[in-house]
Structure 1
Amino acid sequence: MSQTSKLAPGHADPVSGPNAVDPGDYYRKVCHVPIPDQSGAKRPKIYGYAEPRICTPPLRALTPDTTLGYDVIEFARDALGVDLYPWQKVLLCRMLELLPDGSLRFRTAVVLIARQNGKSTLSQVLALWFMIVWGWPLVMGTAQDLETAEEVWQGAVDLVEEDEELSKLLKRVVKVNGKKALELNPQEPQGKVGKKTGPRYKVKAANRRAGRGFTGNLIMLDELREHQNWEAWGAITKTTMAQAEALILALSNAGDLTSIVLRYLRKMAHEAIGDPDGICEEIGAAGPSALDVADLTEDDEELDDDELADYEQDEDTLGLWEWSMAPGTDKRDRQGWAQSNPSLNWNPGFTERTIAAACKTDPEWVFRTEVGCQWSEGTLTGPFPPGAWDKGKNPVQTLDDGTIGVAEEHRIVPGSEVWAGVDQSHDRSMTYVAFGGFRADGKAQVEIVAARHGSDWVKGYLMDVKRRGRVKAVAGQSKGAPISPLMESLDADIEFTIPVVEWSGSDLTNGWADVFDSVRDVTVFHNPQPVLDTAAATAVVKVFSGGASIPDHRASPAEVAPLMAFTAVKWLMGRRVVAPPPPPPPPEALQTADTDFAADDVAQMGF
């Protein structure tokens, strides 16, 4: 299809957001193609929008001198034989914008788009361009499901192997499970960071071990919506820390309340461009906390401000490009479909009829998320009455020292006694410790204080001199749970001097009933903590025949162990401790007038 300056309906204004900069005529000419002639058609086709509905605006007009996108578009067409869709061209030009010094403007690029629109092809083209043309030594592709990352990688391998010229660059393809890699011969790169060793494209599963030991340049994370904690993000993205130039590309459909990393990045980007959808007031800051960072660094030492800053996202180097239905759009609105599905009808197999079928059969929020790329905040789900959990959440504010946190009156009294609750994820990979105590106003408060892999660290953590003097008792499910062996071990350990209280049977369901009532009635408070907030918003409750209930580890979409640790603490705090009866007085000699009192006469004393 020829490239002209004529734009498709709904595409005539590529300016997005209140602070956008007109990308220029050259950009329009290359990135947009005309709608085919539909005169005489009973119902003209609706074509997907090339421009994202929301995006980080460019700093200046996008020309071959100000973005690498045009180079990648030509490479795809001439070297790979791939004719990119209009939206893919738009994204490349915007995402690969250059600063005046010639360096990439963005280090973190977040792309939100509905499924089946061509994210994989875009990833393959970008990976090969950075390897072959720009000479970046290591490209790493990840996904929550390793098989998904391997499929994208295999597509790139096929593009190289099936082209006569590109195949000459091929050194080898490693297809061993867990070590798959595409390796090219050393070459003279056009970029600034090339090395004499050949470029490599490796795939890894998105977990806390991904990327450790590697130094990467292009990191591609597919379906970032599935990252429900900071483990994989911290492990993978820190591989770029030592690189002068690098790009972290996160491609995903819309997420939900459990999508901790994606929610944080999207909120930051929306905030930077004026909060066009009004989401920044609705969702608070959810970036990695000191708790998350401590786990990622595998270090029990206190983290200083510089270490924490390494994990904070720099909004100046963060870019967002979001194709989605606008809030409040009717799910049957076909222009809304075109906003969230930019490949609509540009791909002959991806038609309005396909989307219409899904619209009729899918539950509304399945359709809105998967096809409309709209976010479900999960406000009507979870075990608590809608809004109840948030009512007990302490407000976050800017403190006197300039940091973000909770005020002194919303903290457990420093140095006061606390109770500890412990629980472990259903796969035994993570253990959570919660502390509960009372604030200066006498109100109960519970918060997660530690979350780390395994459970061997729990004894040392609780017995540390900084904490041991405060902890009155500890509880975790005593029987039939992943945490039960640890509780049994602590109870039997003579070196562990904190009382271990048995928590089992009806005490479990009574504890959960107390938490439910306390959250509903706002008699217990807690700090904003993503791992706890997510568990509280999404936990699935198992109901027993008598009506008693308890959160279900396996049935819940997100990990509920933080909420169970919370419940153990709250139960401990409200547990009625029955004082043992005083010991009997020492026996006294029986005084009788008859010193020859017979044993048979004892029966007459009324015992």
Structure 2
Amino acid sequence: MLTSPPGSLRGARHPRVEITPPYVDTYGPEAIELARRAGLELDFWQQQAITLMLASRDDGKWACFEYAELVARQNGKGGILEARVLAGLFLLGERLIMWSAHEYKTAMEAFLRVRALIMRLIDEGLVDADAVKVNNTNGEEGFELLGTGQRLKFIARSKSSGRGFSGDLNIIDEAFAYTPAQHAALMPTMSARPNPQIIYTSSPPLDGESGDVLFGLRARAEAGGDDSLGYRDWGAAGDLDHLDALDLDDRQLWAATNPAVGVRITEETIARERRSMTAVDFARERLGVWPRRVEGGGAIDVQQWAKLADPDSQAGDDVVFAVEVAYDRSTSSIAAWSVRADGLGHAEVIDQRPGTDWVVGRLVELRDRWNPVAFGVDGKGPALSLVFDLEAAGIKRPGDPEKPGRGDLAVLSLPEMAAACGQLLDAIAQGTFRHLDDPDLNAAAAGAATRPVGDVEVWGRRNATAEISPLTAVTVARRVYMTRIDAIKKPKRKPLAAWA
């Protein structure tokens, strides 16, 4: 396979993995034309990326709140980002665009490339030179449109930079080095933006112990059900621990994993890399093969989770409701746990909405309609703040903890939450319950992480790669059900119906 005629190979037009959320329109053609006028001719695969990246729903919001383009180095993912920021500045009116990279030199290379493109637009008469302020100050590099106040800034990420790089558009270049702590600091700040977007570009993680955010993105893409995630991965299937399953000398594989072959990457270049690099380095750097994630890096096996989906699952006679609030308080989730007629558990997200002001009233409605066994709250989590209002509304902790009544409130301690997490993980592994294949719960399961508390673990809100309040609510609901059901007299069966 090393004997194909020189120059005959052409890169693939489509990636191996492509997750496309539904959309009704796109600014892609306008962005592609603007880039062309700036001297940036996009390849077909780059045009496809920018078209999906700039796709919108029928409400005008981005179809892809998150977008990931994972492709080997030197293929041209920087060109996609350059076209995107030009569109943000000159077509879309985005107020603040933050382009962050792992290393300062990478951020500065991007700054210089974008500066050249803007200068070309000025030379073409499409942009007024007096309207663009260029900031070359070390550490403050970027552009400002003086008439509108729009800004594009280039920064290197650091341990302390997370809370300082939020914009309407957030570009996470070199995402293999993007940490859960940086992600946790960024995501809450985007909730105040009217139509935010976060874009990840990267080659695969360096090893199986790092790259938690990228592994989480891949898990969410594999799990499906997240209609706000656009995801394209050009890398070869498999992992770095099983390279015997790949023919690293297969030039068709080179083309499949490198869309720029025959354009800006030559066969000769890749052949030299193959001769001079180790098999592992070549597979990762040129073929985009991922490392195998170290066990424990992902809290929940998404393939096992997917097996538990049952959209027709129905709750049994008795039910527990639990509430959890996102750690940034941007959203709240109410979940239910019950046991079906066949003895399997039933997990369901009942409601998820922005903020917290709706929660108490909704739980009162559920109490009056369903006469639940109990209500649950994580006593060490953000939802603890709701306990006072819940008790004022009549959802109270029992006067005697040993004799709880139907509909009483259970506030779980940290040891109880640790037990609850372990029990839910066991239930997932053993397949003893079913869920409704809810997208929010699927995303929470795919992005869930744990954190140690002594010799046990609980869900980690800040190191998760997704908003996990739906999963935490399910965890609490299950624990409360298991600890309260035997103490509560069962009511007469209510007719099956949707939660109302």
Q: Into which bin does the TM-score normalised by the smaller protein fall?
A: 0.5 to 0.7
Q: What secondary structure is seen at the aligned counterpart in 1 of 2:75?
A: coil
Q: CA deviation at 1:513?
A: 3.5
Q: 1:94 to 1:507 in 2, by over 3 A?
A: closer
- Count of aligned pairs between the two proteins: 408
Question: Cα distance, 1:117 vs. partner?
Answer: 3.2
Asked which structure has the greater CA Rg, the reply is 1
Aligned to 2:338: 437
Q: In the alignment, which residue of structure 2 is the partner of 1:89?
A: 43
1:412 paired to 2:315: yes
The corresponding residue for 1:584 is none
| Counterpart check, 1:493 vs 2:392 | yes
Deviations 1:450-502 (A, max 9, x none): 334443332122123686544442212214x3333333x24552554652212
Q: 1:569 to 1:172 in 2, by over 3 A?
A: same
- Answer 1 or 2: higher relative contact order, Cα 8 Å, separation at least 6: 2
Residue 350 of structure 2: aligned partner: 449
- CA–CA distance in structure 2, aligned partners of residues 231 and 471 of structure 1: 36
Q: Label 1:331 to 1:493 Cα distance change in 2 as closer, same or farther (>3 A).
A: farther
Give 1:189-200 correspondences, 5 Å limit. Answer: none
Contact 1:424–1:431 (8 Å) recurs in 2: yes
Pick from 424, 438, 451: which aligns with 1:529? 438
Q: In structure 2, which of residues 109, 129, 144 is the aligned counterpart of residue 170 of structure 1?
A: 129
Contact 2:99 2:172 in 1 (8 A): no
SS at match of 2:323: strand
The corresponding residue for 2:257 is 340
* CA 146–499 in structure 1, closer or farther in 2 if over 3 Å, else same: farther
* SS of aligned partner of 1:412: coil
| CA deviation map 1:229-257 (0-9, x unaligned) | 99979977799xxxxxxxx9996767966
Contact preservation (8 Å) 1:256, 1:376: no
* CA–CA distance in structure 2, aligned partners of residues 117 and 376 of structure 1: 20
Distance 1:257-1:372 versus aligned 2 partners, 3 A rule = same
Of 551, 555, 564, the residue aligned with 2:472 is: 564
Displacement, 1:568?
0.7
Cα gap change, 1:568/1:53 in structure 2, threshold over 3 Å: closer, same or farther? closer
CA contact under 8 A between 2:223 and 2:302: conserved in structure 1? no
What is the aligned counterpart of 1:325 among 223, 236, 260? 236
RMSD: 5.8
Q: Match for 2:384 among 484, 488, 493?
A: 484
For structure 2, the residue ranges without an aligned partner over 5 or more in a row are: 19-28, 52-62, 155-161, 205-212, 397-406, 489-500
Q: Deviations over 1:519-571 (max 9, x none)?
A: 233222112134433443454444566x5443333444444433322111111
Name the CA shift for 1:491/1:337 in 2 (closer, same or farther; >3 Å): same
Closer, same or farther: CA 465–331 of 1 in aligned 2, 3 Å:
same
Assess if the C-alpha contact under 8 Å between 2:73 and 2:203 holds in 1: yes
Query: For structure 1, which runs of at least 5 residues remain unmatched after alignment?
Result: 1-5, 12-48, 57-66, 98-106, 186-197, 212-218, 240-247, 264-282, 289-310, 395-405, 581-607
Report percent identity of matched pairs: 18
Distance 1:386 1:121 in 2: 33
In 2, distance between residues paired with 1:510 and 1:200? 50
Do residues 389 (structure 1) and 292 (structure 2) align?
Answer: no
Instruction: Write the distance in 2 (CA, Å) between the matches of 1:430 and 1:68.
Output: 35
Q: Which of residues 423, 430, 440 is equivalent to 1:514?
A: 423
**2-structure distance, mates of 1:474, 1:436:** 10
| Cα distance in 1 for residues equivalent to 2:12 and 2:300 | 41
1:555 and 1:165 map into 2 onto residues whose CA distance is 46
8 Å CA contact 2:188, 2:328 repeated in 1: no
* Cα distance in 1 between the residues matched to 2:191 and 2:286: 26
Separation of aligned partners in 2, 1:504 and 1:374:
43
Q: Distance in 1 between matches of 2:134 and 2:394?
A: 50
Alpha-carbon deviation of 1:371? Answer: 5.1
104, 121, 135: which one aligns with 2:79 = 121
- Post-superposition CA distance 1:48-67 (Å, at most 9, x none): x37445699xxxxxxxxxx9
Pairwise mapping of residues 149-298 of structure 1 onto structure 2 (< 5 A)? 155-161=113-119, 165-166=123-124, 169-173=128-132, 183=145, 258-259=216-217, 263=221, 285-288=224-227
Q: Once structures 1 and 2 are overlaid, which stretch shifts more, 373-382 or 463-472? A: 373-382
Change (3 A) 1:223 1:233: farther
Residue 158 of structure 2 corresponds to none
Contact 1:431 1:453 in 2 (8 A): yes
Q: What letter corresponds to residue 114 of structure 2 in structure 1? A: A
